[in-house]
Amino acid sequence: MKVLVCGARGFIGRHVVAALERAGHEVLRGISARGGAPGRHALQMDFVHDTDPAIWQARLPGVQAVVNAVGLLRDSARRPMGAVHARVPQALFEACAREGVRRVVQVSALGIADNPTRYAATKREADEHLLALAEAGRLEAVVLRPSIVYGPGGASAALFDALARLPLLVLPRIVLRARVQPLLVHELAEGVARLMGPQRAWGGLLACVGPRALTLAGFIDSLRRQRGHRAARQIGLPDGLTRLSARLGDLLPFTPWGSETLALLAADNTADPAPFSTLLGRAPTDPDHFVRAFR
């Protein structure tokens, strides 16, 4: 199968490319127009300005499936979430329906259903547009909503690894209590590849989560223990200081910390692990074995 992967150089996208190629698919790498020379089997695209379905239709002849793994954590004038998360994906999905591309996988995020952030709202716009196209019978669609995705090269993984090195952990109280179900990035990518199999049932939302829930503090503690460290002393940052630190983070575009990140991390990010385990054909890796998975 010929598969276009949008965001092929990103954290999740490059693992999806590798998993699809291991499964024997022909992969067309969709990369940013600002990312330098495209290279072989690559296609440049602009996820800020390519809002016309006709632009995408010209890229789709011969393509049988599309995976959209483009996303960002910070809204900016240069890369507005409204375009990157909503308007451009909507144009892509409409082009797929017009061009006869039957299979479309949207990599979204868990916990956005009732979240008031700009991140969640724009992700929902694209998800709902794609599912409406599927409901109308114009294509087949799966919206993947992963919990925290861990692996080398990921911004969130780098943050958790940095926190796991600290003997004293000062985190917002609300974040310390939030529950997550982390999963490994290569297992998420494997799930995408399995969706391309001929026997896979298609349609709807699929939560992609690890085998068990734990608090963010517990996850960081697990990463410490896996590296041979004792448990860190934990101090909960008062809510007022938490909000202040998030507002300060809003002023620093190079850091993932800010008001949106706080709102996302403060909510539980959990789901039934059975559907994703069924897709993989096994239980995903337990968080207590994450570090070993990359040694």
* 3-17 residue pLDDT tens: 999 999 999 999 999
DSSP class per residue in 120-148: HHHHHHHHHHHHHHHHTTS-EEEEEEES-
275 touches 118 (CB < 8 A): no
Share of the chain above pLDDT 70, in %: 96
Nearest to 151 by CA among 11, 3, 2, 20: 11
pLDDT in the model for residue 200? 65
Give the Cα separation of 80 and 84 in Å (integer). 6
Name the pLDDT band for 197 (thresholds 50, 70, 90): confident
Give the Cα separation of 26 and 39 in Å (integer). 15
* Full-model pTM: 0.92
pLDDT in the model for residue 41? 78
Q: What is the dihedral of CA 261, 263, 268, 271, to 10 degrees?
A: -70
DSSP lists the bridge partners of residue 171 as: 236
The HSE-up count of residue 56 (CA atoms within 13 Å, CB side) is 29
Average pLDDT score, the chain: 91
Phi-psi region of 287 (alpha: psi -120 to 50; beta: other; left: phi over 0): alpha
Residue 85, both tokens: 């998360």
Name the pLDDT band for 294 (thresholds 50, 70, 90): confident
| DSSP code, position 82 | I
Sign of CA dihedral 102, 107, 111, 113: negative
Q: Specify the DSSP element, H or E, that contains 215.
A: strand 214-215
Give pLDDT tens digits for 97-134.
999 998 999 999 999 998 888 999 999 999 999 999 99
Please compute the mean of the pLDDT values over residues 198-226 and round it to a whole number.
89
Write the burial class of residue 33 (CB in 10 Å: 0-12 exposed, 13-18 middle, 19+ buried): middle
pLDDT in the model for residue 17? 97
Give pLDDT tens digits for 14-67.
999 999 999 999 999 999 876 555 666 789 999 999 999 999 999 999 999 999
Residue type, 16: V
Share of the chain above pLDDT 90, in %: 65
Give the Cα separation of 98 and 93 in Å (integer). 9
